[in-house]
Amino acid sequence: GDSVTQMEGPVTLSEEAFLTINCTYTATGYPSLFWYVQYPGEGLQLLLKATKADDKGSNKGFEATYRKETTSFHLEKGSVQVSDSAVYFCALTPNNAGNMLTFGGGTRLMVKP
Amino acid sequence: EAGVAQSPRYKIIEKRQSVAFWCNPISGHATLYWYQQILGQGPKLLIQFQNNGVVDDSQLPKDRFSAERLKGVDSTLKIQPAKLEDSAVYLCASSLLGGRNEQFFGPGTRLTVL
């Protein structure tokens, strides 16, 4: 079945550092790929998405590129802020008409001033 | 626009007791999902409704879990009897009908089974 693997956390960075959170997936066909973020005490929010190979999703300074050849969707940000501290989840939906999400285990990011 | 509402936000029960969670999706969203998120893990889909019909309940432990979505709006998820391993956050999400529409998540209900 479909699966998503993320790097384990926590990831601890200083403010303004460069962020990469690795995500790889296993799925048949061409799934859609997502990054969700969960801030402390809040629900999951969609951060960005990409629906086909080589698409780049971007939002709030975060970016991720859909790489079919490496089955990856790594999340990057050039300069993190303390307010980016949260748990980040990589997820996919299959290439059929359904939109059931399969999530990775999540990566906690802690940004220190 | 109001988001997905869930209640209660927290619930503590003893094992073998029963518990119910309520979800009100975003107005107009035909598709509703219940996910279970165990501490330190990603959410796992339990059941998906489209209007008041079940689309996928393959990962719902049907011997103890049940869910309904009467009238195609609000939904209730029930656990009876609860086990220790049911301790988790139960998330409700909703989306527009069809395609790969974005799912909007509620704040979740944190269940602790003692």
Does the pLDDT value for residue B40 go beyond 90? no
| pLDDT for A96 | 63
Gap between the Cα atoms of B1 and B91, Å rounded: 19
Does the pLDDT value for residue B92 go beyond 60? yes
**Cα first-last separation, chain B:** 37
Residues of B in contact with A59 (CB under 8 A): none
Residue from A33, A112, A28, A15 nearest A72 by CA: A33
Gap between the Cα atoms of B93 and B3, Å rounded: 10
| pLDDT for A88 | 97
Tell whether B25 is within 8 A of chain A (Cβ).
no
**Cα first-last separation, chain A:** 41
| pLDDT for A40 | 86
Residues of B in contact with A104 (CB under 8 A): 42
Phi, psi (deg, nearest 5) at residue A49: -150, 165
Residue B32 near residue B75, CB atoms below 8 Å: yes
Q: What pLDDT digit, counting tens, does each position of A40-63 carry?
A: 888 899 999 999 999 999 999 999
